Amino acid sequence: MKINKLLIATHNIGKFTEIKKQLEVLDIKIVSLSDLGIKEDFEETGETFEANAMGKAKFYYNLAKIPTISDDSGFAVDALNGEPGVHSRTWPGYEASDEELLQMLLYKMKDVPDQERTAKAVCVIAFYNGEEEIITRGEEYGTISKKVESKIEKGLPYSAVFFSKGYNKVFSQLSIEEKNAISHRGIALDKLIKKLSAKGGVNK
């Protein structure tokens, strides 16, 4: 399995930028959906991050016909019984704006004390090349702030309120390098890079 070109299948520019940065260690050409003129959306109907991520990878592989990776990620808040989880983008029952999602989260947690504001960020990365499937998962633990702590990164709203364990900055205040080193997405991507390298698919 040799990969010369890889599609990062997301319309989310924030995710694309983070993922592409981490994949720079690979000796391959990285392309986006917009590079290929692909505008179709994948409807995430799975009940797990794994199902959504692999479904998305296969959907866009079938459109592009080149090896594809995609992700599904979200935040599971302990005080909210794991919500919003896989529904992190469509929590209100529709695809909400970044601002709506943060408003909903902070309202639901307005009476939750500091010691109970724990949460975890989850990311599952899926790779598909028409034959082989690879899935990796990353989790990062932290707490939810009581207010929006920084400018909202487009497509990554929860990063403005999530303090990673051991940091006094929310995710969106970290540099891409810092974030990729400790984040749920960074962990999942690192696992994928190692698996692809072990299979001889890329150069490191």
Mean pLDDT for the stretch of residues 98-125 = 96
Mean pLDDT for the stretch of residues 133-155 = 93
- The answer to whether residue 180 sits within a structural domain is yes
* Secondary structure letter of residue 183 according to DSSP: S
Strands 68-77 and 29-32, bridge-based pairing: unpaired
pLDDT score, position 32: 96
- The answer to whether residue 123 sits within a structural domain is yes
- The answer to whether residue 204 sits within a structural domain is no
Cα 149 from chain centre: 20
More confident residue, 25 or 129: 129
> How deeply is 51 buried, as exposed, middle or buried, from its count of CB atoms within 10 A (0-12, 13-18, 19+)?
middle
- The answer to whether residue 11 sits within a structural domain is yes
Query: Does the pLDDT value for residue 204 go beyond 50?
Result: no
Query: Does the pLDDT value for residue 4 go beyond 90?
Result: no
Question: How many structural domains does the chain have?
Answer: 1
Query: Does the pLDDT value for residue 39 go beyond 80?
Result: yes
Query: Does the pLDDT value for residue 79 go beyond 60?
Result: yes
Query: Does the pLDDT value for residue 63 go beyond 60?
Result: yes
pLDDT score, position 200: 64
pLDDT score, position 44: 86
- At residue 48, the 3 state secondary structure works out as coil
Tokens at 6, concatenated: 């890889």
Query: Does the pLDDT value for residue 109 go beyond 50?
Result: yes
Q: Which neighbouring-strand residues pair with 136? A: 125
Note down the domain range covering 100: 5-198
pLDDT score, position 83: 95
Tell me which residues are annotated as active site: 72
The model's pLDDT over 163-196, given as tens digits with 9 standing for 90+, comes to 988 888 998 898 878 877 788 888 999 999 999 8
Tokens at 12, concatenated: 């989310």
- The answer to whether residue 203 sits within a structural domain is no
**What value does the mean pLDDT of the chain take?**
91
CATH number at residue 118: 3.90.950.10
Q: Who contacts 42 (Cβ-Cβ below 8 Å, separation ≥6)?
A: 9, 55, 56, 59, 60, 70
